[in-house]
Amino acid sequence: MHSFLEGTFFDAERNLWLSDVPYGRVFRVSTGGDWEIMHHFAGEPHSMRIAPDGRHIAVDYGHGLIELTGRDSFSCLSTGIADQPFMGLSDMCYGPDGTLWFTDSGRTSLSDPAGRVYSLSPAGALRLVLDCVPYSNGICLSPDGAWVYVAATRSNQVWRFSTRLPDSGPPMVGTFLQLSGGLGPDGLGTNSAGWLAVAQAQAGRAYVFDALGDLLAEIRLPDGLWTTSVTFHPDNPTQLYITEAQFGAVFTCIIPTP
Q: b or e along 97-123 (b: 16 or more beta carbons within 10 Å of the residue's beta carbon)?
A: eebbbbbbbbebbeeebbbbbbbbeee
Q: Would you put residue 118 in left (φ > 0), alpha (ψ -120 to 50) or beta?
A: beta
Q: Helix, strand, coil proportions of the chain in percent (round to 5)?
A: 0, 55, 45
> pLDDT tens, 126-178?
999 999 999 999 999 999 999 999 999 999 999 999 999 999 999 999 999 99
> pLDDT tens, 217-250?
999 999 999 999 999 999 999 999 999 999 999 9
Residue 258 has pLDDT above 90, yes or no: no
CATH fold of 1-78: Thrombin, subunit H (2.40.10)
The chain-wide mean pLDDT, for the chain, equals: 97
Q: How many CB atoms lie within 10 A of CB 62?
A: 14
Contact call for residues 27 and 37 (beta carbons, < 8 A): yes
Q: What percent of the chain has pLDDT over 70?
A: 100
What gap in Å lies between CA 217 and CA 210, rounded to an integer? 10
Enumerate the domain spans of the chain: 1-78
Number of separate helices (H) and strands (E) present in the chain: 0, 25
User: What's the rounded mean pLDDT across residues 195-216?
Assistant: 98
pLDDT, position 168: 93
> pLDDT tens, 32-87?
999 999 999 999 999 999 999 999 999 999 999 999 999 999 999 999 998 999 99
